[in-house]
Amino acid sequence: MLYREAGQFKVSYAKDQQIFPIRQDRIALLAVAFAAFVLVPLFGNQYWLSAIFIPFLIFSLATLGLNILTGYAGQLSLGTAAFMAVGAFAAYNFILRVPGMPLLVAFILAGVCAAMVGIVFGLPSLRIKGFYLAVATLAAQFFVIWALVRVPWFSNYSSSGVITAQKMVMFGFVFDTPTKKYLLTLAIVTVLALAAKNLVRSSTGRAWMAVRDMDVAASVIGIRLIRTKLLAFAVSSFYCGVAGALFAFAYLGTVEPEAFTLDLSFRILFMVIIGGMGSILGSFLGAGFIVLLPTVLNVLVHKLNATLQSAFNWQLPPGITSNLELMVFGGLIIFFLIVEPHGLARLWQIGKEKLRLWPFPH
Amino acid sequence: MLQRNKWLSGLIGLALATIAGAVSAQQTQFVPLLSYRVGAYAAGGSGLFGGWIDYMNYINMKDGGINGVKLIWDECETEYNNSRGVECYERLKNKDGGASLVMPLSTGITYSLIDRVAADKIPLVTIGYGRTDAADGRVFPWVFPLITTYWSQASAMINYLAKKEGGEAKLKGKKLVHLYHDSAYGKEPIAVFEAYAKKLGFQFTAIPVPHPGNEQQSQWLQIRQIKPDYVVLWGWGVMNPTALKAAAKIGFPRQKMIGVWWAGSEEDVIPAGDASKGYTTAVFNVSGASLPLVQDIKKVVYGKGKGNMEDDSRVGSVYHVRGMVHGIITVEAIRKAQEKYGKGKRMTAAQVRWGVENLDLDNARLKVLNAAGMMPPLKTSCEDHEGSGLVKFQTWDGNKWTIVTPDWISSDKEMIRKMIVASADKYAKEKKITPRDCSKPF
């Protein structure tokens, strides 16, 4: 009833081409933005900001990066965590070695470094596809971490190879409290997400999708494969690099190269798959699912234990409690993939379509 | 958002109410447990956190708490994952009057918390792991790598080998291989070994094993070529039994392998079977079901069915006793703080920090605690956040660990201290921290 586009006429090309053609979508988006930028910092406490929202946003950004590569351009990659590591270590070194380096410039340069590494490891994509490419990008994962551990210059000769993120300062303004860090992260993620949304609607994005759907056909209609694929690797790695820099600076503070393991790459790939391949919104949904659900389950299991304690003066053994979370988490992943193999974003889309037809479905 | 926030805190509140209901008449002191009972390191985690909880239960049941202040705690599963660890820390730090201290039992999580604890003013205690240069309390007032760090450990190993060979001079010309887990953890001691190699004139080779370490053929081939006199095994998890099996395969005597303390538990040697016989490791806690404290906990806690270990045979194992050492330090730090700030009162985290910084567990005190000889004596100060640096060495005989050094083996304190101060100063400069003046109160 509320979600109906009847009466919304598009009278100009600009209107026809806007990101969110339906007014209700625009209103909803503005409401979400208002909540994120105003309500959350006003009412969220330190726990919510620094333990839930900041990691959620950072992982969303990394997922977005991988989604550009895997979801839009169809190039499977297992090197996401490595590109994040490049971003984190690059940002650290830029701030360390260039006096007076503004934070945002360092982040952008970190992204550029990651993009360059991404292009190098994207080169095999010109010859190989699918699972074979995944194995080739796996090399990035191992090589980058190996190099960061092995070359002491990257960690400024720290004996353990660990870097400590410097204070986040921009033009004398220090981002030190969780609220400030959250707002900085949110601003960066918002700008990059909007950029990504526009990018995938542009001719570049269409070229990516053409390559994804059939690269021979794409090259026949005049899309240059080399340029398109490498651009996808570059843009994707740029996003991952910025996410990695934020991961080190706005979230963890001190990072060892081992924080960026293959495990993290897989997690981000799962976020893409669960959220929905080739969807900007899906990146956020997938990150939310994988980052937040274990915590929610943990809280629920705690509540269950408390109830058992008060009702029967008995609790689940601690080992069972922890494993229960994993079992439920795994079960939910399988459930969602069976219900909707195209991810949470597709569920959302179906929901929207149903709403538009409601109450007269056909 | 606000609504959900309330809803969630309601959930947590409910959980609290049940615990608090039982002890509401009393003062309580909250200890957050960032535990891991699933995943690759579950064996270590369940033993450690089990021992820690058992000891706190023991103090509550036997003494009625610390001067009447009952200990309460809550577990949060981290899966040994940095992000989950941070989330758990943030969730638990303000619970039930605030966390007394944090011990994450993971070097990765420790790194992620160093900045946070300084901002939140909660002491971060890392026993036998974590950031080595944090032993310099001038630069890291909130971090305590207690008992011994990786650098002290490497130094103590060299001292042990020197003793075994009959003097430091005898190490000249010998060959030492450092077979390590290729991570910050394994890399950390290399600087110390290299310094010693230069000083004592032995040949040192560091051989990395990539994570997780279940494939070590090429490394042992290299070891066979080098023909070292000793191999230091700086492994973690599955890497340890694999190394022992690989050593047996090429016929390298296990008697010449020295393990770090994270390579010296039952979980590390039993999977390798007979291949582990004769293997020696360092430990900062003695183990065994016959220890008086273990016996007492069995009687008081397990006798009432309140024991935390699901498998009774693991009571008194290396990890379980190590958990008890964590418990002793938790309790003694709070007790020390109470002596200064008021007995029978709940201590704030800042007050507990003072307690950790002024710990003095000498042999007499350990005897009172029923833990004489179980852990080394410990005395911390503003400069020295490590407090001991002593370890013992134990050998696996196929069934149990036997201590082979009756006395605690010390590290070369002067040399290690110098390295720690140099590293901490560099950190202070990078982070623009002014080291505090230890003659003034913090």
pLDDT at position A1 = 63
Best mutation target among A37, A43, A47 (most B Cβ atoms within 10 Å) is: A47
Contact A252 B191 (CB under 8 A): no
Residue B16 in this model has a pLDDT that exceeds 70: no
Instruction: Give percent of chain B above pLDDT 90.
Output: 74
How far is Cα B411 from Cα A75, in angstroms, rounded to an integer? 53
Strand partners, B102: B124
Distance from CA of A113 to the nearest CA of B (A): 23
Residue B15 in this model has a pLDDT that exceeds 70: no
Instruction: Judge whether B211 is closer than 8 Å to chain A, CB to CB.
Output: yes
Do A237 and A112 touch, CB atoms closer than 8 A? Answer: no
How far is Cα B390 from Cα B149, in angstroms, rounded to an integer? 10
Residue B12 in this model has a pLDDT that exceeds 60: no
> Averaged over B190-204, what is the pLDDT?
94
Instruction: Give percent of chain B above pLDDT 70.
Output: 94
The 10s digit of each residue's pLDDT in B252-274 is 999 999 999 999 999 999 999 99
pLDDT at position B142 = 96
Outline where DSSP puts E strands in chain A.
Answer: 163-164, 168-170, 173-175, 254-255
Nearest-CB residue to B427 (from A164, A251, A305): A164
- What are the tokens at A66? 């991988």
Per residue in B367-380, is it b (16+ CB within 10 Å) or e — as a string? eebbbbebbbbbeb
The DSSP-derived string for B142-205 is: TEE--S--HHHHHHHHHHHHHHHHTSGGGGTT-EEEEEEETTHHHHTTHHHHHHHHHHHT-EEE
pLDDT at position B204 = 96
pLDDT at position A63 = 97
- What are the tokens at A193? 């997400």
Best mutation target among A48, A60, A159, A249 (most B Cβ atoms within 10 Å) is: A159
How far is Cα B165 from Cα B175, in angstroms, rounded to an integer? 13
Instruction: Judge whether B306 is closer than 8 Å to chain A, CB to CB.
Output: no
Which of A10-14, A131-135, B212-216, B350-354 has maximum average pLDDT?
B350-354
Nearest CA in chain B to A248: B112
Work out the burial of residue B250: count CB atoms within 10 Å of its CB; fewer than 13 is exposed, 13-18 middle, 19 or more buried.
Answer: exposed
Instruction: Judge whether B19 is closer than 8 Å to chain A, CB to CB.
Output: yes
pLDDT at position B6 = 53
The 10s digit of each residue's pLDDT in B138-169 is 999 999 999 999 999 999 999 999 999 999 99
Residue B73 in this model has a pLDDT that exceeds 80: yes
pLDDT at position B209 = 92
Q: What is the ipTM of this complex?
A: 0.86
Nearest-CB residue to A256 (from B35, B83, B111): B111
The phi and psi torsions of B207 (rounded to 5 degrees) equal: -120, 115
Contact A160 B188 (CB under 8 A): yes
Do A81 and A264 touch, CB atoms closer than 8 A? Answer: yes
Residue B23 in this model has a pLDDT that exceeds 70: no
pLDDT at position B81 = 86
Residues shown for chain A: 362
Lowest mean pLDDT among A87-91, B21-25, B214-218, B239-243: B21-25
Hey, is A254 helix, strand or coil? Answer: strand
Identify all chain A residues contacting B83, using CB atoms and an 8 Å cutoff: 55, 251, 291
Distance from CA of A48 to the nearest CA of B (A): 8
Instruction: Judge whether B84 is closer than 8 Å to chain A, CB to CB.
Output: yes
> Averaged over B121-133, what is the pLDDT?
93
pLDDT at position B25 = 55
Best mutation target among A162, A179, A252 (most B Cβ atoms within 10 Å) is: A252
The tally of CA atoms less than 13 A away on the side-chain side of residue B23 is 19
B318 contact partners, CB below 8 Å, separation of at least 6: B47, B264, B265, B266, B283, B285, B287, B401
Do A61 and A83 touch, CB atoms closer than 8 A? Answer: no
Q: Which residue type, as a one-letter code, is found at position A347?
A: L
Question: Whose CA is closest to A278, among A232, A330, A336, A326?
Answer: A232
Distance from CA of A235 to the nearest CA of B (A): 26
Identify all chain B residues contacting A248, using CB atoms and an 8 Å cutoff: none
Contact A253 B115 (CB under 8 A): yes
The tally of CA atoms less than 13 A away on the side-chain side of residue A195 is 13
Question: Whose CA is closest to B125, among B351, B413, B356, B374?
Answer: B356
Long-range contacts of B360-363 (CB under 8 A, 24+ apart): B360/B336, B361/B328, B361/B332
> Averaged over B355-376, what is the pLDDT?
94
Work out the burial of residue A345: count CB atoms within 10 Å of its CB; fewer than 13 is exposed, 13-18 middle, 19 or more buried.
Answer: buried
pLDDT at position B9 = 54
Contact A149 B211 (CB under 8 A): no
pLDDT in tens, chain A (362 residues): 678 778 888 899 988 888 888 888 899 999 999 999 999 999 988 889 988 999 999 999 999 999 999 999 999 999 999 999 999 999 999 999 998 889 999 999 999 999 999 999 999 988 888 889 999 899 999 999 989 988 889 988 887 778 888 888 888 888 989 999 999 999 999 999 999 999 999 999 999 999 999 999 999 999 999 999 999 999 999 999 999 999 999 998 888 888 898 989 999 999 999 999 999 999 999 999 999 998 898 889 888 888 888 888 887 887 788 888 888 888 988 998 888 889 999 999 998 888 888 777 76
Contact A255 B111 (CB under 8 A): yes
Torsion of CA B26, B29, B32, B35, to 10 degrees: -70
Alpha helices in B303-384 (DSSP H): 318-341, 349-357, 363-368
> Averaged over B377-382, what is the pLDDT?
94
pLDDT at position B2 = 45
Interface of B with A in 146-185 (CB under 8 A): 182-185
How far is Cα B424 from Cα B430, in angstroms, rounded to an integer? 10
pLDDT at position A205 = 96
pLDDT at position B24 = 47
pLDDT at position B431 = 82
Identify all chain B residues contacting A305, using CB atoms and an 8 Å cutoff: 15
